[in-house]
Amino acid sequence: MKPVHLNGRSLTRAQVLAVAYGAPVELDEAQLPAVARAADFLAEQVRREEPIYGVSTGFGSNADRLLGSYRLRNGAGSDANNPHESLHAELQRNLIVTHAVCVGEPFAPTIVRAMLCIRINTLMRGHSGVRVETLRSLVAMLNAGVVPVVPQLGSVGASGDLAPLSHLAIVLLGGGEAFLGGERLPGAEALRRAGLEPVTLSYKEGLALNNGTAQMLACGVLALAKLEELADTADLAAAMTIDAFAGRLGAFAPQVHALRPHPGQVAVAAHLMQLLDGSTLADIPYHLVPRFRPWLPESWDTEEARELRFDIGWDWVPDTQRHGREKFYLRFRPFRGGKKHQPQDSYSLRCVPQVHGAVRDAIAQAARVFEIELNSLTDNPIVFPDAQAEHVEQQVVSAGHFHGMPLALAMSYVKAAIPVLASISERRLNKLVDPATNDGLPGFLIGNEDATESGFMIVQYTAAAIVNDLASRAMPASVYSIPTSANAEDHVSMGANEARHVLAMADDLGKVLGLELYTAAQALDLRRDMINAARALAKTASAERLADKVIGAPTARSGGMAVFLAEVDGLREELAASEAFRPGRAVEAAHAEIRASIPFMPFDRAMDGDVQKAVRLVQDGRVLAAARRAVEG
């Protein structure tokens, strides 16, 4: 893979992802003199015995403790492998070894590689005081495939991600644990096998290595990459459901959204129109849509038709019930089938641009914040070696760039948006399986002739359980600060927890969308096949035969039979003249991708394998890729 060039100023989310999944990194040689100047400046200030936080003082609540010129107690805290270690080196080493105290399961290697990439890029700004050789050692470790073991729990998000970043740095020192080639090893052994030597830290290097926002940012970048794909997948799931409902497209027209031009909303409306392009199910006249009736042996005349999984039918609207609706029945024939006589669909269909679009806007806001953070300095204190100043405090400035609140609040916004997207998906799924709301499809999307079948009933339960779980996890961690370091660090961001939650919640959102696509594919088959069965019958049968599918015909005694048959014949002629009904081209391609793995379910069967496949189709992006290829033509 092509190396990612790091200069401290131009790192992108796409490059972080490339490194996360295996790309090496390289340093911008033109920027290294600036890195070296800051390190040399700190060395000179130490020689001059200037008091500098984190260089010649302790950390956090120990910031008022100045390092002496000699050790008060021999052996206290010193490195047994380096008996001549200076107090300054001991200070930096102790910072790392005492701060590497995270617990829990390790982060995936992708997250840890992203953390390393982000940290190296930050240090390349030249305001942290690390030596060039230390940076080169970090790069060598990353490029050699040495992946520090970083347990997931332990950061409060200020001063940055101290504990997890210490787990990164401790391996550089020859401590901790690391993965190499998939094997979990002591850090020193991993370095040895990779042909690398441990590093002895110099002035401020421990603080520069563990004081920053790399963990929360790495988790956030990987989460956003998933969520951007899932936002498109959610649009696709909605489009397939809209086709399965023979829905109305007017709510997605560009002139509609020009009047309320939130960027995400406009984008989703346009995306839906792309996905539904070519559909002859959407906007179909109400009267052409039959409703489901249970299959009976006498439902169909031919052997071919008897293979169908359903019967179909309409209700006839007699003249006495058309009062006040005469104009409507001049435009639409007087038959009620599966599609209700109303010009608007339910909110979960009609308001997809407004809901999905708002989620996209939350993701876009987080992306804006992340792109700033990727090329920002996030440790403390900040070194300005070239500044003209009377006092060193004006050149080594203690500030708060390590505080993760910009990231934390951006991820709180995304965190609240995830269950919103999952919830509207579950509502569409529920609408598909409920015979009271699915516009004439069979209950739970199964024929159930013998009353023994549950169909897709419990798929909705699973989606509901996940949505509830997501909603219960959406409480923002950023609003609950717990002070640390003996109240020296008295307000923290909890951004690391926020980012971990968002990353995990993105995976569960994908499961809900997979369940909707699985269910929508079944519903789409039924809707398309029912309308096309009506069309096939109309092409071969008489008005009298089609009239057998209509409830409410007048009796011979009441008269009006001739008018009724004439109106049925009009319905027959319109159906017969229609082209075969089909979904949008992109929806059709996605449906075909689903059907390549999961066949239609005509009768109850074990569904656990189907559900797993549906979730994987979303996780690996295959169903979305099929739709995108169709859109691109």
- Tell me yes or no: is domain 213-379+395-633 CATH 1.10.1050.10: no
pLDDT at 556: 61
Counting every residue written for the chain, the total comes to 633
Residues (pLDDT < 70) of the chain are: 60-61, 63, 68-84, 556-559
308, 533 in Cβ contact below 8 A?
yes
Contact indicator for 354, 413 with CB cutoff of 8 Å: no
| Burial class (CB within 10 angstroms; exposed 0-12, middle 13-18, buried 19+) of 160 | buried
- What is the reported pLDDT for 69? 60
**Secondary structure class of 314 (helix, strand, coil):** strand
Alpha-carbon distance of 62 to 208, in angstroms, equals 17
Structure tokens at 49: 């015995």
Integer Cα distance of 82 and 27 in angstroms: 30
What is the model's pLDDT at position 579? 95
List active site positions: 53
Top CATH class, 4-212: mainly alpha
Backbone angles phi, psi at 239, to 5 degrees: -65, -40
Q: What is the CA radius of gyration of the chain?
A: 32
Whether the model pTM is above 0.75: yes
Query: Measured at the alpha carbon of residue 546, what is the angle toward residues 446 and 530, in degrees to the nearest 5?
Result: 25
Pinpoint the alpha helices (H) of 473-602.
495-540, 543-547, 561-577, 585-597
Strand segments (E) across 270-420: 291-293, 311-316, 335-336, 382-383, 396-397
- Angle, to 10 degrees, between the axis of helix 13-20 and the axis of helix 352-373? 80
Interacting residues of 379 by C-beta distance below 8 A, sequence separation 6+: 122, 123, 128, 160, 207, 208, 211, 212, 401, 402
Long-range CB contact pairs, 476-484, < 8 A, 24+? 476/408, 476/409, 476/412, 476/415, 476/416, 477/408, 477/412, 477/501, 478/405, 478/408, 478/409, 478/411, 478/412, 479/412, 482/156, 484/60, 484/156
Rounded to whole angstroms, what are the CA distances from 82 to 99, 171, 203, 478?
20, 17, 17, 42
- What is the H or E stretch that residue 106 is in? strand 103-106
pLDDT of the residue at 393: 82
Residue closest to 5 by CA, chosen among 367, 374, 15: 15
Both tokens assigned to 188: 């020193």
Residue 7 confidence (pLDDT): 98
Strand ranges (DSSP E) for 156-280? 177-180, 183-186
Which of 197, 284, 228, 250 shows the shortest CA–CA distance to 534? 284
Beta carbons within 8 Å of 608's beta carbon, 6+ residues apart: none
- Per-domain residue ranges of the chain: 4-212, 213-379+395-633
Half-sphere exposure in the Cβ direction for 211 (13 Å, CA): 26
User: Where do we find the tokens 């992109």?
Assistant: 586
Amino acid identity for residue 401 in this structure: H
**pLDDT score at 172:** 97
β pairing state of 550-551 and 311-316: parallel
